[in-house]
Chains A and B, each alone.
Chain A
Amino acid sequence: DARVTQTPRHKVTEMGQEVTMRCQPILGHNTVFWYRQTMMQGLELLAYFRNRAPLDDSGMPKDRFSAEMPDATLATLKIQPSEPRDSAVYFCASGFYPGTGNTEAFFGQGTRLTVV
C-alpha cells in the first residue's frame, strides 16, 4: 500500500533549536508539497517541488525556513532557529502531475511540532 511517510511524527523542541522534518513521497510521484496546519490559519502551502526543482516557496518565512529535495525519495523541511509561533502540524503530500495536474495529492500523517 503506497503512502507518504513523514518523520518524526512528533517533535518537541526549545526555541532557537534547529528542526528537520523528513518526507518520503510515494514512489513515482513527481510533485511534493509542504503544508502547515494551524487552528488559526488552516492549511497553508509552504513550498512545493516538481521533479525535485522548487516551483514555489513563497509561503515560507525565508529567513528561517528552508526546503530541499536531495533526491527523489526524500524531501526535507528545516527550521532554524525555531520559534514558538512555528508550533503546528506540518504535512507533506505528493502527487503525479503530467502537465494537467488533474490527479489528487496524497498526504502523509504529519509532523506535530511544538516549540517551547
Chain B
Amino acid sequence: AQSVAQPEDQVNVAEGNPLTVKCTYSVSGNPYLFWYVQYPNRGLQFLLKYITGDNLVKGSYGFEAEFNKSQTSFHLKKPSALVSDSALYFCAVRDPAGNTPLVFGKGTRLSVIA
C-alpha cells in the first residue's frame, strides 16, 4: 500500500530565508508525487508534480521539489520565503500501477516570520 510521511508538523522560517518542507513516500514501483498548499478556509491548491524525467520539478509561486529515488523523498523547497507562503502544505503520492487515488500526508504547517 502506498503511503506518505511528512515528519514535521510545523516549520518556522524567517522571511527571505530558504525553506524546506520534507516528504518521504512508500509505493511499489515508480511513484507519481504531488505537492498541494492549503490556505485558511480554502481548498487544496496544486503546486507541482513529479511524474518522470528531471528530478527537480518547478511549480507555482517559486516553489520547487526534488525527487530522490534512493531516499524515497520529495522535499518541497523555495530559495526565499515570503510571509504569504504561510499555509498548510500536503505531499501526496499515487501508485500509477493501479486505479488508486492520491494518498496524502498529514500536512506540514509553514510559518514564515517577518
Contact = CB atoms under 8 A, between A and B. Distances in A.
Interface of A: 4, 33, 35, 42-43, 45, 48, 50, 55-56, 91, 93, 100-102, 104-110
14 contacts: A43-B104, A43-B107, A45-B101, A93-B43, A100-B96, A101-B94, A102-B49, A104-B34, A104-B46, A105-B101, A106-B46, A107-B36, A109-B41, A109-B43
Given A100-B96, A102-B32, A91 B44 contact: yes
Nearest to B6: A42
Contacts, number: 49
Contact of B99 (A43, A50, A104, A105): A50
Nearest to A35: B104
A93 B46 CA distance: 11
Interface residues of B, number: 23
A48 B51 contact: no
A42 B107 contact: yes
B29 to A, nearest CB: 12
Nearest to A10: B41
Given A56-B101, A93-B43, 10 more contacts: A33-B101, A33-B102, A48-B101, A55-B99, A91-B44, A101-B94, A101-B100, A109-B43, A110-B42, A110-B43
Given A43-B90, A91-B44, A105 B107 contact: no
A94 to B, nearest CB: 11
B102 to A, nearest CB: 6
Contact of B96 (A35, A56, A93, A102): A102
Contacts of A50: 99
Nearest to A109: B43
Nearest to B104: A43
A43 B4 CA distance: 12
Interface string B78-104: 000000000000100010100111111
A42 B108 CA distance: 11
Contact of B43 (A45, A56, A101, A108): A108
Nearest to A91: B43
Given A42-B107, A43-B90, A43-B107, A105 B43 contact: no
